[in-house]
Structure 1
């Protein structure tokens, strides 16, 4: 009897262990199926990052199906896996997040000649519906896409990650007739979105630069043909809380990056380049955009390194190297008698080299509004023409007439500006409106010496008022102290 009881005890323990193993195995099988649902099989010889199922409007990409017919079938789950057409496979109140949508899984070829536009649009649409999703253009591929608007609103945290090469059609002849010639990639109505990666955005701009539409300077100072209706490479429009980082952006037909009507922009560690004589290829242009930080970037191009248009405020620029370029510009402002308001701009710890201009404020005659609260600090110049310039007579033709109104320039500080200048122009040039004087210009620790040749001893000032806190090199005796008698007249043009 005692023996029988011992046998019964052993059987109970054995059955308990076997039951536990079955439960663990079934649980493991469920996890395997769910993992295969969330992650696509790797491509041959290419490590393709993970990607979830696309949105219900699109069929599952081919990589969902195992490419090897000899692969064993997955164990049958004890519970049904999420339905593939459901973009939120878990609790609808807590959708899945952090998914990667590899454009290769949506049909992209990435050979540099195939049009991959449709694959990018489908990947974007699928990712837009998932919180913290990633649209991935993987490394080792070159993707050609045509003019496209990536629009929102999308779920927050969307990342467009380019690790390969993303490029435009090759010049105006290859540009689709039905596509906009004013812009290529547009990001519209987005919040909390990042455009990042270690890849390259290639603009193929050389064939646009020689269109016989607009004159630009040739290598010997002559005037040669240039672009007119040419696309900006990347445009962010009516969006907020944006990050652009890590990318190399090259050879734009026109502006490399534009921000219109945005708020909350961070640009960090980007490289922008195009030839010195490529016309209208501004590196970064912002307009009607607030709260902007531009940091730790290299910009070399054929126009303004960074240009700040009307409606901008709270802009911080630091750790940027510009050149060759046309320098950092506020403006042009007030074109066609318009109002332009720019305020609270800080440019600090910047290098400007081999450039036509250094720190420039340019406005048209006849405009209204104001430029105020500007700080340029700790700037290094290397062989720069027009190192410090305020030009309130900006004009692209010889037919511009002086007018009685102007954009009011006030509270501009130049602190610790040092380096060398090209003696073909005066290094300091304040050309302010006849009727609306520039006021409260502060200069401190400014030392500019000729790159070659003799020291220029006649900086230019016209109707400019301010204070020299230290001895300035070259001496700038033309800056008037105090305030003009017409200061009240100037104030009426300021922004409220």
Structure 2
């Protein structure tokens, strides 16, 4: 893309905006309810479409880039090149006063940038932009960058949320390839009023119970997209999940800061499902639920140099709900810190599910005042009405190496509760040393139907882990993935 072509695109876009200036309000209200016109429109809509089958061949796991996201001057594109076309949202009518609805301007800037190679949608610093629930969809030309250097936020709570908008999601990036979401700015979720809704009880201060959330939106969602980079941003106070990836392949996440209060409900930091070839690096996450949660359909995930806390730890699951088939494989977590959290390294499945969790490695993890530092829970349930069932998601080849630090003495630091009928197998424990944060040692580690080896003695000793393999695993076809 040469400079003259870029200038021509900008000139044509400016003329069209001037010609249509008298009809901004009508166009905006009409556009919110109108499907984007593509030669091959997405079907079904991204809010409800199933995840696609994985592409072949699969890309490799993105490696840690050691990337410095600081621009050389304010509001300069981070992925700067001589061939970039820059589209400032303010040039398309965005006000940035924190109260004006700037959605139409963002959509126009996106549409223009989508049509050129290496286009940059630039959200400038020192301004606060409010937009409503929006789907930024492709396909677009390669190299597209969405750069937020200012503050970007949704309406303030459910009373301000447009009735016509989805209450399940706010920013959605759909059907994109080779796209970067970056910047030195902040994505502010305005979550407090959503957390206070009287729907789902959650734990409050001093043992109290507080309401919320209800049908609350996830802040950022990437759907059916590939070769994505998310880096440098601060994301905070999400109404529900901060960032979700589903139906994606080839994802690099680096140098993010994600934060919400410890008691904010269902505010997972990063959630992935039906997503493959993922690298999550050099990020700090503190929130009211899982720091990172890995759902069904995920494989080839590498998590490294992440600090979690407060949080509910790094979780695989929950899996197998409503007797579903769940598959997770080849997950590595290393060189991480988990502190002041309700869980550390957790795998959780529902009774009655099928499928498998395999080839999981937790290595070089530092714990600081963590409950349930190492936990497998195959009896996960949100009510007291769940009954034991004969089928379960099969867990095998799970390694814990060099897991050290301190635990909250209210619960044992190691807890392996495997299904009555489908044992956990090939669990490896090596250099696991967990001491009480304060007080004295409490209950010994708990094991139920868990098989594995201790390569070194653990602290506290885990004598309950069984040697070898169980006599039977039941019907093997249930565990194929």
Same structural fold, with TM-score higher than 0.5 when normalized by the shorter chain:
yes
Residues 1:38 and 2:7 aligned together: yes
* Aligned 8 A contact 1:457 1:475 in 2: no
CA separation of 1:383 and 1:431: change in aligned 2, threshold 3 A: same
CA separation of 1:257 and 1:38: change in aligned 2, threshold 3 A: same
TM-score scaled to structure 2, two decimals? 0.85
CA separation of 1:366 and 1:324: change in aligned 2, threshold 3 A: same
Name the structure 2 match of 1:177. 163
Q: Following TM superposition, by how much is the alpha carbon of 1:471 offset from its aligned partner in structure 2, in angstroms?
A: 0.6
Q: Following TM superposition, by how much is the alpha carbon of 1:494 offset from its aligned partner in structure 2, in angstroms?
A: 1.9
Name the structure 1 match of 2:369. 383
1:212-251 equivalence runs, <5 A: 212-251=198-237
2:286 pairs with one of 300, 313, 329: 300
CA separation of 1:289 and 1:53: change in aligned 2, threshold 3 A: farther
CA separation of 1:213 and 1:402: change in aligned 2, threshold 3 A: same
1:207 pairs with one of 193, 201, 208: 193
* RMSD (Å) for aligned C-alpha atoms: 2.0
* Aligned 8 A contact 2:294 2:317 in 1: yes
* Aligned 8 A contact 1:164 1:199 in 2: yes
Matches of 2:12 and 2:191, distance apart in 1: 34
The DSSP-based 3-state class of the residue aligned with 1:123 is: helix
The DSSP-based 3-state class of the residue aligned with 2:113 is: helix
Residues 1:414 and 2:397 aligned together: no
Gaps of 5+ in 2: 21-81
The DSSP-based 3-state class of the residue aligned with 1:234 is: strand
Q: Following TM superposition, by how much is the alpha carbon of 1:455 offset from its aligned partner in structure 2, in angstroms?
A: 1.5
Matches of 1:228 and 1:330, distance apart in 2: 24
Matches of 2:250 and 2:6, distance apart in 1: 36
* Aligned 8 A contact 1:98 1:134 in 2: yes
Q: Following TM superposition, by how much is the alpha carbon of 1:458 offset from its aligned partner in structure 2, in angstroms?
A: 1.0
Name the structure 1 match of 2:428. 442
CA separation of 1:36 and 1:410: change in aligned 2, threshold 3 A: closer
Q: How many pairs are equivalent? A: 420
Name the structure 2 match of 1:452. 438
* Aligned 8 A contact 1:351 1:380 in 2: yes
* Aligned 8 A contact 1:436 1:490 in 2: no
1:99 pairs with one of 85, 88, 91: 85
Matches of 1:315 and 1:285, distance apart in 2: 12
Gaps of 5+ in 1: 1-30, 40-50, 63-95
The DSSP-based 3-state class of the residue aligned with 2:222 is: strand
Matches of 2:207 and 2:117, distance apart in 1: 53
Bigger relative CO (Cα 8 Å, ≥ 6 apart): 2
Considering only CA atoms, is the larger Rg found in Structure 1 or Structure 2? 1
Matches of 2:392 and 2:18, distance apart in 1: 59
Matches of 1:132 and 1:404, distance apart in 2: 54
Name the structure 1 match of 2:478. 493
* Aligned 8 A contact 1:204 1:251 in 2: yes
1:369 pairs with one of 352, 355, 358: 355
The DSSP-based 3-state class of the residue aligned with 1:252 is: coil
Residues 1:110 and 2:96 aligned together: yes
